[in-house]
């Protein structure tokens, strides 16, 4: 994290995680994922974009180790160690009986570390999301956006190699979502972290990521990959630029392509 | 231009609706305490008047004055009895908490354990304690143990079922998170399941507090008097045989007061533990 160098351009990044021919079948006949191939490199900001039922959340759960693939391989460069993963869900998923600080303590606490030992890490993570003044607050005292920030701080606290985000801002209002999008990019710039971001918003995926993996449903699979060649840091100006509009159209076309593939199959 | 300046010098603008709202709130606050007290006083007054106007003899229905007089005169005997009943009740509640929570934890740790033993818990709960109590006093030598067992059978079930429900109500995303961070079974229980179950448990405790008193009283009725002194229920029976109706009422009032005190304590405990974070303790505006 003390590394102040830039994230190397795509193509020159070290491999972090590789999924090869991953299938996931539910109940013997529902193909949630078919033949998923995905390589995640250090410093990537990847969006998984697709309609519901395309298996993007399943892919995330497989990477998180919450379920096991039916076949295929998921390989971590250097193996998966404690604290390598940070996860942010669609809901803030905070413990209501615990203060902000205690919530952010959780990943360390489950590894047997006392609050005093890791207070530095916790304050650092809360500072990263701009909540250092709220360490003693309870979740119910915070707004929806602030709760989500606590959730992000909790994911950051172990300085993970990969952060998984499952539609984290989908339930927030647009103004808050834009603000959190901006802040997330700032964080990424500071921390050089690797992110896989699940979303069903074309605009969000283009604004945030350098690679968009477009997925199609039934069976869940990768249908296209769009690279977003806009330089970081991206600011509010980028949102209104012609380049952004063009990239959104590209991603949108890819998404419609993914949905039509399914339509053709259904009508054939 | 001048309108905002005018407003700035005035007091904060309060419209009619808000005024009415504030007034209604003040009224509610006063009524919350005064209305129950007023109604209770009115009921006692009516009770007194009915006795006096109809010249009802005290061996049929004593007036409130006579009941209070009896309460004071017989205080020595009644306070001993109150102490006995209270002791049984609190011990039974304690055992119900330990047994109920303990069983609930075991149930959530092992599905098979729950499948095997849940039917027993239900059978104990649905069988009226009055019908089991005589058997208990045949098989259990110690009177204290018998009384405790009866009260426990009545009181433990709400704690067991509420706590089990609570332990199983954890947020599924949090459960996933604990799994991702490699939590042990014990960590999950202690940091996630027990705090989630706390509000449910406290709800069960409020019910169980009343039930343990009922259990203690019923058990005393069945057991009669014995080596450990007599409780309030036995005093009621005894006074009934002697047609000492005022003493029956005095003992009854003590039992009811005990129940109210236990309920109040459970409610205060609930507030103390939950007011910082739980939805039930949050006052919403409007």
Cβ separation B192–A97 shorter than 8 A: no
The residues facing B71 across adjacent strands are none
- Domain span at residue A143 reads 96-159
- CA angle, corner B103, sides to B101 and B108, nearest 5? 95
Residue from B256, B232, B249, B255 nearest B59 by CA: B249
Interface of A to B at Cβ within 8 Å reads: 61, 64-66, 82, 85, 87, 89, 91, 93, 95-98, 106-107, 109-111, 138-140
Of A89, A93, A138, the CB nearest to B277: A138
CA–CA dist B167, B93 (Å, integer): 20
CA–CA dist B207, B203 (Å, integer): 7
Cβ separation B173–A91 shorter than 8 A: yes
The residues facing A213 across adjacent strands are A48, A225
Same domain, A44 and A100: no
CA–CA dist A182, A187 (Å, integer): 9
Same domain, A196 and A246: yes
Domain termination residue (choose one: A128, A159, A190): A159
Q: What residue of B is the nearest CA neighbor of A97?
A: B277
In a domain, A43, yes or no: yes
Residue B150: left if φ>0, alpha if ψ -120 to 50, beta else—which one?
Answer: alpha
Predicted pLDDT at B228: 55
The pLDDT profile of chain A, 268 residues, written as one tens digit per residue, is 444 457 788 778 889 999 999 999 998 888 899 999 999 999 999 999 998 888 898 999 999 999 999 999 999 998 888 889 999 999 999 999 999 999 999 999 999 999 999 999 999 999 999 999 999 999 999 999 999 999 999 999 999 999 999 999 988 999 999 999 999 999 998 888 899 999 989 999 999 999 999 998 888 889 899 999 888 888 888 989 999 999 999 999 999 988 887 544 443 3
Provide, as residue numbers in chain A, all residues whose Cβ is less than 8 Å from the Cβ of B187. 109-110
Longest alpha-carbon distance in chain B: 92
Interface of B to A at Cβ within 8 Å reads: 171, 173-174, 176-183, 187, 191-192, 195, 198, 276-279, 282
Domain termination residue (choose one: A131, A159, A187): A159
CA–CA dist B37, B143 (Å, integer): 40
In a domain, A165, yes or no: yes
In a domain, A5, yes or no: no
Same domain, A220 and A168: yes
Min Cα separation B103/chain A (Å): 24
How crowded is residue A165: how many other Cβ atoms within 10 Å of its Cβ?
A: 24
Cβ separation A111–B192 shorter than 8 A: no
Mutate to test the interface with A, among B169, B171, B173 (most CBs of A within 10 A): B173
Q: What residue of B is the nearest CA neighbor of A102?
A: B191
Q: Give domain B64-281's CATH architecture.
A: Orthogonal Bundle (1.10)
Residue B57: left if φ>0, alpha if ψ -120 to 50, beta else—which one?
Answer: beta
Where do the structural domains in chain B lie, given as residue ranges?
Answer: 2-53, 64-281
CA–CA dist A106, B258 (Å, integer): 43
Same domain, A175 and A247: yes
């Amino acid at each position: 994290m003390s590394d102040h160098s830039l994230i190397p351009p795509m193509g020159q990044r070290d491999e972090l995680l590789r999924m090869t021919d991953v299938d996931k079948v539910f109940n013997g006949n529902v193909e949630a994922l078919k033949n998923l191939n995905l390589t995640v490199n250090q410093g990537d900001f990847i969006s998984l974009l697709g309609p519901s039922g395309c298996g993007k959340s399943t892919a995330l759960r497989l990477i998180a180790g919450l379920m096991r693939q039916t076949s295929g391989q998921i390989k971590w460069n250097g193996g998966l160690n404690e604290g390598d993963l940070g996860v942010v869900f669609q809901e803030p998923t905070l413990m209501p009986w615990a203060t902000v600080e205690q919530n952010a303590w959780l990943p360390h606490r489950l590894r047997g570390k006392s609050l005093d030992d890791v207070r530095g890490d916790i304050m650092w993570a809360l500072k990263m999301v701009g909540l250092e003044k709220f360490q003693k607050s309870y979740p119910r005292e915070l707004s929806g956006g602030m709760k989500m920030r606590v959730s992000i701080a909790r994911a950051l606290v172990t300085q993970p190699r990969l952060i998984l985000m499952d539609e984290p801002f989908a339930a927030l209002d647009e103004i808050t979502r834009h603000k959190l999008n901006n802040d997330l990019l700032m964080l990424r710039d500071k921390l050089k972290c690797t992110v896989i971001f699940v979303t069903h918003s074309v605009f969000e995926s283009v604004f945030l990521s350098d690679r968009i993996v477009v997925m199609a449903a039934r069976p869940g699979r990768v249908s296209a990959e769009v690279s977003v060649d806009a330089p970081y840091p991206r600011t509010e100006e980028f949102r209104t630029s012609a380049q952004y509009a063009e990239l959104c159209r590209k991603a949108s076309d890819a998404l419609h392509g993914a949905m039509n593939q399914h339509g053709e199959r259904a009508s054939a | 231009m001048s309108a905002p300046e005018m407003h700035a010098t005035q007091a904060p603008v309060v419209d009619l609706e808000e005024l009415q709202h504030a007034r209604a709130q003040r009224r509610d606050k006063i009524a919350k305490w005064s209305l129950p007290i007023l109604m209770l006083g009115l009921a006692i007054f009516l009770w007194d008047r009915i006795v006096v106007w109809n010249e009802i003899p005290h061996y049929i229905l004593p007036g409130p004055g006579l009941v209070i007089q009896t309460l004071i005169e017989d205080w020595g005997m009644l306070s001993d009895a109150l102490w006995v009943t209270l002791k049984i009740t609190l011990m039974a509640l304690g055992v119900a908490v330990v047994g109920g929570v303990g069983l609930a934890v075991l149930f959530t740790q092992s599905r098979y354990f729950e499948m095997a033993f849940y039917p027993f818990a239900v059978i104990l709960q649905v069988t009226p304690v009055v019908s089991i109590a005589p058997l208990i006093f045949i098989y259990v030598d110690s009177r204290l143990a018998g009384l405790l067992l009866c009260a426990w059978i009545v009181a433990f079930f709400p704690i067991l079922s509420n706590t089990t429900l609570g332990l199983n109500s954890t947020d599924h995303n949090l459960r996933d998170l604990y799994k991702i961070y490699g939590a042990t079974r014990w960590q999950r229980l202690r940091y996630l399941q027990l705090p989630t179950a706390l509000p449910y448990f406290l709800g069960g405790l409020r019910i169980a507090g009343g039930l343990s008193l009922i259990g203690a009283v019923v058990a005393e009725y069945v057991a009669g008097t014995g080596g450990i002194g007599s409780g309030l229920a036995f005093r009621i029976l005894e006074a009934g045989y002697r047609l000492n109706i005022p003493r029956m009422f005095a003992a009854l009032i003590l039992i009811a007061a005990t129940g109210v005190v236990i309920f109040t304590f459970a409610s205060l405990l609930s507030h103390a533990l939950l007011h910082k974070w739980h939805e039930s303790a949050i006052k919403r505006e409007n």
